Structure formats: structure tokens, C-alpha cells
Amino acid sequence: MSRNERAAEIILTVIGLSSATILGLIILFIFSEGAPAFAKVGVWKLITGLKWAPGKNVFGILPMIAGSLAVTLGALVVGLPLGLGSAIYLSEFASKKTASLMKPTVELLAGIPSVVFGFIGLTALVPFIRDRLGGPGFSVLASSVVLGVMILPTMTSISYDALRAVPQSYREGMLAVGATPWQTVRMAVLPAARSGILAAGILSMGRAAGETMAVIMVAGNATIVPGSLLDPVRTMTSNIALEMGYAAGLHRSALFATGVVLFVVIGILNIVARAAVRGRGS
């Protein structure tokens, strides 16, 4: 190995280790800051508590956990079919000219600030829900629709790349035995691109679960367990963003503990998603 190759290997190794080290330090910081709340309030009581009243030193984040799960799952229901359908159309059915025009247009959505999505949801979607479906308008449904649109660029772009990575011979083989274009996509292309589509879904889920500003504007921020799609809700990220600016002592530690729970919940969802796809592939 030449000196230049050795130097490049060392530099790349340091860069890789530095990224892992930074991630480890962030995790360590969050866990260390949240530890006092877990110790004083109790892990089980903090996670299953239904009341959040910092002024009375009562910290229960179950409503925020339920809110985050409801909003994230709602966003996936809205965004995943639309994103995957767009990717299939652009990859398999659209002309090259149409795909070259539409794909950058969809990806342009990723450059729009989240506060813009929140403002549109606040001025258009919330009144529509309130007038047509009932309730205050600020709700799980409004948050899910806004986040579903926000994850479209991620889902579409990564799924498109995964579909285009499938060898052309797969398509030609299916068409040669008399399959229709849709049968070719359903029976050959989609199974071959499953891992890439899974990655798109996981990244989209993380995007939805971690969004803050847009959710604050349309969710209603009520610390209750939502009973329907029309109920107001507060997510874990919203709870942290709304109160971290003035929190101190145990209250501040409880907000960091909320971040720890969010980190664990997203990790569990990722593991479950990967296990589900592996189970189907076996």
C-alpha cells in the first residue's frame, strides 16, 4: 500500500469514527440530562403518567407518546402510498421527459421550510376540518396530513432510486412470458426493490416523528390521549420545543427524559419495521 493510500485510509477512518463518536456523545448527553427525572419520578410513572403539570412537579408523558405515535402513523398512512405510487409512476410508466420534470419538482418540496407547511395547514386545512368534520380543527388529522405531505420527497426520491436500481433484465424476463407492465412491477420490480423501499419508509417515519414546528402550528398541543382523529394532540417533540426555553431543574430534566423516550420509541419502530420485512423475505 502506497503512502497516499495509507493516508487516505487513515483520514477516512478518522472521519467515520468521528461521526460515530459525535452520535455517541449526543446520546450520552441526552441520557445523562434525563437521568435525574427517571430517578426522581420513576421510569414507569414517567412513561405511563397521564398528567403533565410542571408547576406541581407532576410529569407524565403518556399523552405525548400517544400523540407522537398517532401523528406519525397517520403521516405514514398519508405519505407512504402517495410517495411509493409517485415513485412507481416516475420509474416505470412516465416518459423520460415527464420523469425529468416531475422528480425535481417533488424533491423541491424538501426545500420548503416546515413553518410554511404549518402556516398552510393553519390557514387552510384546520378551518376545513373544523367546518366540514367538526371539532376544533387542530387535530391528529391535520397534523397527519401536513406531515404526510412533508415526507413525500423522502419517500418518493429514495423509492425511485431503489426501483431504478432493479436490473432491466427482471422487467424484460417478465414481459417475455406475457406479463403486463403492472404485473411486472408488482411481481418482480417491487420485491427486488424491497430493501430500498423499506429504507425510504424508515427515513420517512423518522422525518415525521422528529418534526416540530409544523406540528406545533396545527396539532392543538393539548396534553391528552387522543380518542379520535379530530382530537387535539401534543407530540413529544412539540412538548420539548414549547417548554425547554423556560424549564429548569426537574422540569428541564423531564424534557430531556422525553427526548430519551422519543429516541427509544423511534429505535423500536425501526427494529420492528426491519424485522417485518426480513420475515416476509424469508
pLDDT band at 9 (very low <50, low <70, confident <90, very high): confident
CA distances from 165 to 117, 158, 177, 196, 282 (A): 32, 11, 22, 9, 22
Q: What is the sign of the dihedral through the CA atoms of 53, 59, 60 and 61?
A: positive
The 10s digit of each residue's pLDDT in 31-49 is: 999 999 999 988 899 999 8
Nearest to 201 by CA among 84, 31, 26, 58: 84
Name 170's Cβ contacts closer than 8 Å, sequence gap at least 6. Answer: 184, 188, 189, 192
Would you report the helix, strand and coil content of the chain in percent, each value rounded to 5? 80, 0, 20
The one-letter amino acid code at 179 reads A
**Where are the chain's structural domains?**
52-281
The 10s digit of each residue's pLDDT in 58-94 is: 899 999 999 999 999 999 999 999 999 999 999 999 8
The pLDDT value recorded for residue 97 is 86
pLDDT band at 98 (very low <50, low <70, confident <90, very high): confident
- The answer on pLDDT for 281 being more than 80 is no
Specify whether the CB–CB gap between 253 and 234 falls below 8 A. Answer: no
The pLDDT value recorded for residue 275 is 74
**DSSP strands (E only) in the chain:** 52-53, 58-59
- Rounded to the nearest 5 degrees, what angle is found at the Cα of 205, between the Cα atoms of 116 and 135? 60
The pLDDT value recorded for residue 1 is 64
Task: For residues 37 and 49, give the distance between their C-alpha atoms in angstroms, rounded to a whole number.
Answer: 13
Q: Please give the CATH number for the structural domain made up of 52-281.
A: 1.10.3720.10
Task: For residues 41 and 238, give the distance between their C-alpha atoms in angstroms, rounded to a whole number.
Answer: 21
pLDDT band at 276 (very low <50, low <70, confident <90, very high): low
pLDDT band at 280 (very low <50, low <70, confident <90, very high): low
The pLDDT value recorded for residue 217 is 93
The pLDDT value recorded for residue 235 is 92
- The answer on pLDDT for 109 being more than 80 is yes
Name 55's Cβ contacts closer than 8 Å, sequence gap at least 6. Answer: none
